[in-house]
Amino acid sequence: MTNAPQQLNPRHGRFFGLGAMAAWMLFLALAGCAQYHAQPLHPATFHSHFQHRSLANPLVRKFITAQPIHVPPGFPRRQTLSTLVAAGWYYSAALRVQAAQIALAQANLVTASQSPNPTVGLSPTYAAKAGPGVSPWILGFNFDIPIETAGRRQDRMAQAAALIHAGRFNFGQTAWNVRQTIRRALVTYLYARKHVQLLARQAADARLIAALLKARFTAGDISRPVFAAAQIQARQAALALLAARGVMQRRRMRLAAALSVPARALVGVKWFFPHLWRLPPVRALKLHPLIRAALLNRMDIQSLLARYQAAQAALKLQVARQYPDIHLGPGYSFNQGANEFTLGLTMALPVFNQNQGAIAAAAAHRRVIAADLLQKQTRVITTIGTALTTYRADLRQWRAARAIALRQRGQWNLTREAFQAGAQSRLALAEAQFALNTYQQAALGARSAAALALGHLENLLEKPLGRTPAQPKGLQP
């Protein structure tokens, strides 16, 4: 007997219709996925790009003019501390790293806010001994729908949001570090330039003194030791000038490095810094207000506070993980002509552990951050007093050196007037000029030390005592 061909049961059509719908939904989901785009890096080309960096770059100028700072007339050939700091922000690779870290933290927030996807499984089965007229195929599929419990999604989002705040404070901390590096490099470079100018005049005075004493020695008016001492003094002044020029070149390179530009980018720049050497009086700086300002303004402290909030959320998340997630498992199968529906419910049984290890680790991590915060605050409180004392001492020394230099200038003026009147010799005028340059160098060194001490105090406060902004505008993602 010939077997009649089997006809497809209408319920098979419904099953395949559901399968086709599931496949179509899967296709639509995959079509909405992000696409990969390659962005290769070429380290060999960076050197060429770096060599073309300039303070006159139109993009740099646009960025600087967008900052809340005063741009002087003649910019970009005329620079101020504020414009140099803004240029350093524009070229800073460290700031770009921190901006990328913020973008990564924001992406982690997106991940933390996502709910787990359900899964679907298809399980076709073939019955080898199916009866006559019965389809040997058992077709079915099932779902797994996870349900998070105990508010874990909110805890993950709170942790990720706190880390974003910490990243923004780290960005500000990096911007501040760039500013202070530029300020210190600029102060030391300007001091070296002025020092070279004073030494050049002093070396010329020493040569003039040696020449005048040589004439007197030839005439027999002075002894050889006096003439030899003048020659030694002239040679020492020449060597000091040569060494100072080397120091100036090295500090110029250091300033260029702080700005992340080649040294040739500083050629032709006219320096204009009316506020850089301005030293506030000691009475304007009180210890306790400075400490309070530091504890409130320092971005590393604020970053630690944000990280502490993230650790709090992480601990709460681990505590919530004591309670198992629930998995719903509805399913359907077409079993040899019969429609079968199932409803599964699974969950982990917290029998062998209740997540104690992860909870203990999260609690320990929170204690570590709290200890770091306490250590940071203690260091700030103790070092601000030392920095303020150092600034006071350097300021007093500068004022004393300036007073001596001013008195010597008065003496030089009297000697010059006497020389013009014919009452003093050219040798006496040259010696007075040499002494004036010596005292001016001492005053310049004391002023530079006070300016650096003030910068160190600002660094502890992480707040400029002048008008320069502490963070860039327009670089945050």
Q: Where are the domains of the chain?
A: 92-461
Give me the residues paired with residue 147 across strands: 326
* Omega prior to 350 cis, within 30 of 0: no
Count the Cβ atoms, other than its own, within 10 Å of residue 2: 4
CA distance 297 to 460: 10
What pLDDT, on a 0 to 100 scale, did the predictor assign at position 11? 46
* Ranges of residues in the chain whose predicted pLDDT is under 50: 1-16, 467-468, 476-477
Count the Cβ atoms, other than its own, within 10 Å of residue 399: 15
Q: What angle do CA 241, 246, 248 make, to 5 degrees?
A: 90
Residues 6+ positions from 139 with CB-CB distance below 8 Å: 12, 15, 19, 124, 125, 333, 334
CA distance 438 to 167: 50
State in Å, rounded, how far the first CA of the chain is from the last one.
Answer: 79
Q: Name the token pair of 471.
A: 């963070």
Count the Cβ atoms, other than its own, within 10 Å of residue 433: 21
Count the Cβ atoms, other than its own, within 10 Å of residue 451: 25
What pLDDT, on a 0 to 100 scale, did the predictor assign at position 403? 95
Fold adopted by 92-461:
Outer membrane efflux proteins (OEP) (1.20.1600)
Distance of CA 276 to the CA centre of its chain: 22
CA distance 72 to 78: 7
CA distance 125 to 33: 32
Q: Name the token pair of 78.
A: 């005329």
- Segment 209-265, tens digit of pLDDT: 999 999 888 888 888 999 899 999 999 999 999 999 999 999 999 999 999 999 999
Q: Tell the residue number behind the tokens 């700072």, with chain if given.
A: 69
Spatial CA neighbour of 18 closest among 171, 142, 118? 142
Count the Cβ atoms, other than its own, within 10 Å of residue 189: 23
Q: Tell the residue number behind the tokens 């010939």, with chain if given.
A: 2
Count the Cβ atoms, other than its own, within 10 Å of residue 324: 14
- The per-residue b/e assignment along 145-155, b for 16 or more CB within 10 angstroms, e otherwise, is eeebebebbbb
What pLDDT, on a 0 to 100 scale, did the predictor assign at position 476? 47
Residues 6+ positions from 335 with CB-CB distance below 8 Å: 138, 140
What pLDDT, on a 0 to 100 scale, did the predictor assign at position 473? 58
What pLDDT, on a 0 to 100 scale, did the predictor assign at position 278? 81
CA distance 280 to 391: 10
- Segment 418-456, tens digit of pLDDT: 999 888 889 999 999 999 999 999 999 999 999 999 999
Question: For the residues of 269-318, what is the DSSP string, one character each?
Answer: PEE--TTTT----GGG--HHHHHHHHHHH-HHHHHHHHHHHHHHHHHHHH
What pLDDT, on a 0 to 100 scale, did the predictor assign at position 75? 85
Q: What angle do CA 128, 132, 137 make, to 5 degrees?
A: 40
For 211, phi then psi, to 5°, come to -65, -40
CA distance 290 to 460: 9
Rg over CA atoms, the chain: 38
CA distance 196 to 190: 10
How would you class 263 by CB atoms within 10 Å of its CB: exposed for 0-12, middle for 13-18, buried for 19 or more? middle
Question: In what helix (H) or strand (E) does residue 334 lie, and over which residues does it extend?
Answer: strand 326-335
